[in-house]
Amino acid sequence: MIEAVLALAILAVIITAASLSFLNLAAKYRLEKAVGEVRTALVSARAKSILNGRRFRVRFGADFYRIETYDENSGLWIPDASAGIEGAAVTANNAPVFTPEGGVTNMATIKIFNGWGAYKMTLAITGRIKIARLPS
């Protein structure tokens, strides 16, 4: 009887340790998913700009992004698409504007972070996206 109780206690400790490591991994994967979503939004806006021959920009909030297109007639930015970003927060120093030639007029540095860590995404004038994990 004592052996069974001891075995169950050891098993409980092992399960607790394993579940804590899985919880930490969940934050990591949520952050990586958010980085992928932001990158996809930038690539999508650039592709739309090239294909449609119009300027597109991406604006960021703390937990969302919005793709907008510029209407030459009204001089206004019209919402095209938007989505929430779950599991991470986003800050950006600029709203990048993609030109029909594929370049960017407002280069941006975007930081995506949560409790697990942070990534920095930089957008070059050519439209190239560079992603780097920031040290903890």
pLDDT of residue 43: 97
Which structural domains are found in the chain, ordered by start? 28-134 (3.55.40.10)
User: What is the DSSP annotation of the chain?
Assistant: -HHHHHHHHHHHHHHHHHHHHHHHHHHHHHHHHHHHHHHHHHHHHHHHHHHHTS-EEEEE-SSEEEEEEEETTTTEEEEEEEEE--SSEEEESS--EE-TTS-BSS-EEEEEE-SS-EEEEEE-TTS-EEEEEEP-
Does position 20 have pLDDT exceeding 80, yes or no? Answer: no
For the chain, give the mean pLDDT.
Answer: 92
Question: pTM score, two decimals?
Answer: 0.83
pLDDT digits (tens, 9 = 90+) for 64-92: 999 999 999 999 999 999 999 999 999 99
